[in-house]
Amino acid sequence: MLLHLISRRVSPSFRSQPSKLSALRFSTTVSAAERLYDHLQGCKNNPEKELASAKVKLDASTINEVIKRCSPNQFQLGLRFFIWAGTQSGHRHSPYMYSKACEFLEIRANPDLIKDVVEAYGKEECFVSIKTMRIVLSLCNQAKLADEALWVLRKYPDFGLSADTIAYNLVIRLFADKGDLSMAETLMKEMDCIDLCPDVMTYTSVINGFCNAGKIDEAWNLSKAMSKHGCVLNTVTFSRILEGVCKSGDMERALEFLGEMEKEDGGGFISPNAVTYTLVIQAFCEKKRVQEALMILDRMGDRGCLPNRVTASVLIQGVVEENDEDVMDLSKLIDKLVKLGGVSLSECFSSATVSLIRLKKWEEAEKIFRLMLVQGNRPDGLACSLVLRELCSLERYQDCFFLYEEIEKANVISTIDSDIHSVLLLGLCEHGCSWEATKLAKWMLDKKMRLNVSHVKRIIQALKKTGDEDLMRRLSTI
């Protein structure tokens, strides 16, 4: 009974049927996916027409299931299905679905798939809309295929379509991210020629590309050209340039930029915000110039700009890295951050815990984490996960269990992953902590949490070895 209960919760890959869904949901998905897959098989020419007659309500798990079935021998059919599904009214692929499609259909490894499918549309005289092309381009985007995206852009006229700003922006961004700024600029000029006006997103992509390539002057010139084209230079774009300056290592120039942004004559369009200041703070911290980073914090405070979680975490990390012994600086910083507002004491303590663990200052990390719980502050998910994992690696399973209980009372348990649960359960079992193991196993079953496959066999073995009748009895009543 006990083993049955445990194995019921084993990860899907441990069982024959691949699904993370409930039995009812699974059967619906399979039947819908089966019907769609059968329709796909039924017609090799223009399968989109055939699919339309399937009359199946599309959802993410059904689409996933169909694509999986098309792997590994029917990638082209799977891709056509995915594109067709995305064009159906009432359904829109999430970014997650695009990444799944790229993964299952191995698009990055087989970029020709994209071309083959678009060519097939032409040969079979399929109906191709702007929406169809947008999905194809989004797949290129997900797979980071700039050349293929450009090829798709060139295919628009073949289907009687004109590429729009969204299509151009996507292709331009791919080339800019890839570092091919000359192609990005060519495409931007081309937009002008066909009466498409490059917008803020177009410019920001290319400016970002120049900054990543360390070409700050080119980025700066482009931002001036942007104003001429009627696009207002804004905080985001200006911050991008500032980020490029920071990355180039010229902090004096970065401060000049920041000063320019702070001037009132910009009309407020380019006033620095928390992200802008954080970029500069981060750059100073990375250069171990923490005092100057702290001065930027004062400067943002003076201007009424509130630090956020990222500002806090970057600064806390900087201070923790700088000071081997002195925790006074850390508490002074946390006091200041909380007084300024915008960030809570819990967030600061959580960041400090994370930074201390990463710097292998475990004792201080544990102290600050426990202090947080005692004071009734709620730690964040990452701090909890790192602390529990560390306790497990130190084989302090009982301590870990009691801390887990405390954390659960603070209501952050849902962000702790199943792997930590599995490691803790295994540790408790192997160290004879049957009472704790029982309680943890019960919570895990209640939460429908899956056990890590690599641990389940050992957990079962450990449970067998203890021969603890009481444990068996209690677990079997869950």
- Interface residues with DNA (CB under 7 A) are 20-21, 59-61, 94-96, 200-201, 204, 208, 234-240, 273-276, 278, 308-311, 313, 347, 350-351, 354, 380-383, 385, 415-419, 450
Q: 444-471: b or e for each residue (b if 16 or more CB lie within 10 Å)?
A: bbeeebbbbeebbeebbebbeebebeeb
Q: 170-179: b or e for each residue (b if 16 or more CB lie within 10 Å)?
A: bbbbbbbbee
In the bound state with DNA, the residue whose beta carbon lies nearer, of 60 and 255, is 60
CB 171 within 8 A of CB 187: yes
In the bound state with DNA, the residue whose beta carbon lies nearer, of 45 and 454, is 454
User: Cβ of residue 147: shortest distance to DNA, in angstroms?
Assistant: 21
User: Cβ of residue 410: shortest distance to DNA, in angstroms?
Assistant: 14
Count CB atoms within 10 A of the CB of residue 244: 26
In the bound state with DNA, the residue whose beta carbon lies nearer, of 118 and 207, is 207
User: Cβ of residue 215: shortest distance to DNA, in angstroms?
Assistant: 17
In the bound state with DNA, the residue whose beta carbon lies nearer, of 433 and 459, is 459
CB 198 within 8 A of CB 191: yes
Count CB atoms within 10 A of the CB of residue 18: 11
User: Cβ of residue 48: shortest distance to DNA, in angstroms?
Assistant: 23
Tell me how far the alpha carbon of residue 125 is from its chain's centroid: 38
In the bound state with DNA, the residue whose beta carbon lies nearer, of 54 and 60, is 60
How far lies 360's CA from each of 35, 321, 347, in Å?
55, 11, 20
* The amino acid at 375: Q
User: Cβ of residue 58: shortest distance to DNA, in angstroms?
Assistant: 11
User: Cβ of residue 50: shortest distance to DNA, in angstroms?
Assistant: 25
How far lies 406's CA from each of 11, 363, 369, 378, 448, in Å?
27, 19, 11, 10, 21
In the bound state with DNA, the residue whose beta carbon lies nearer, of 309 and 367, is 309
User: Cβ of residue 153: shortest distance to DNA, in angstroms?
Assistant: 19
In the bound state with DNA, the residue whose beta carbon lies nearer, of 50 and 218, is 218
